[in-house]
Amino acid sequence: MTVVNITIPVYNEEVALVNCIKTLRSFLQKNVNFKWNILIADNASTDSTLNVAMELAKQYQDVTYSHIDIKGRGRALRKVWLESKADIVSYMDVDLSTGLEAFPPLIESIENGNYDISIGSRLIHGSHIKRSAKREFISRSYNLIIKLLFFCKFHDAQCGFKAASINTVKEIVPLVKNQKWFFDTEFLIIAEKKGYRIKEIPVEWTEDSGTTVNITSTVIEDLKGLMRLRFHFPK
């Protein structure tokens, strides 16, 4: 039976984490046929997030945790994905902004052998999105820049809802240099350019008004990453 790891990267999410894990476990128990485990990747939190993760791991046998001393979502995903023994690895944001109904087809597209990577997409037909005009403009502009620079076929590099076969991860992640928010984009661009098959799944997505992500600094990091990748693409 296919084993799927679901990573939840967290930084100072002591309030949201418990509800996330309870909601996710309930959904998985009722809606999937594959074997799964949830891994909370505590990304150098300074609040009680790690303690909450430890308590959840004690409470549920299918929940584990990992602590990463240095902040950076890409750094966290790199560590837990490369250490994983699962057949398919995935991650989603702790706020569960992406509707979980899209998760089974996300995994099935890889499990059936048709694709190597599967991503939630907010920018394809069938998706239903609730977010501010500012976020919509930034997202569409960013993904347009990706297409102009790399001629990629995928539409949404940034949705925090992705999965990949473990073989793909072992081959592509070591080529990714970014340790923070650009990790996703770099992973996808390198994978597509090297011939890996990427499936996009339409999603329902609702913006988290309480997000702690600094949009300006993230945009700057992403643009710098795109230019680095454009002129120094890994061989």
Of 48, 125, 43, the closest CA to residue 91 belongs to 43
**For residues 207 and 219, what is the distance between their CA atoms, to the nearest angstrom?**
17
Instruction: Please report the domains of the chain, with CATH numbers, ordered by start residue.
Output: 3-231 (3.90.550.10)
Instruction: Answer whether 8's CB lies under 8 Å from 94's CB.
Output: yes
156-to-46, 138, 162, 199 alpha-carbon distances in Å: 31, 12, 11, 11
pLDDT in tens, 134-143: 888 898 999 9
pLDDT score, position 184: 94
pLDDT in tens, 68-125: 999 999 999 999 999 999 999 999 999 999 999 999 999 999 999 999 999 999 999 9
Residues of the chain predicted below pLDDT 70: 209-214
| Residue % of the chain over a pLDDT of 70 | 97
Beta strands in 18-92 (DSSP E): 35-43, 63-68, 88-92
Of 113, 100, 116, 86, the closest CA to residue 1 belongs to 86
Write out the H or E segment, with its range, that includes residue 162.
strand 161-165
Of 202, 153, 4, 31, the closest CA to residue 87 belongs to 4
Measured between its terminal Cα atoms, the distance across the chain in Å is 35
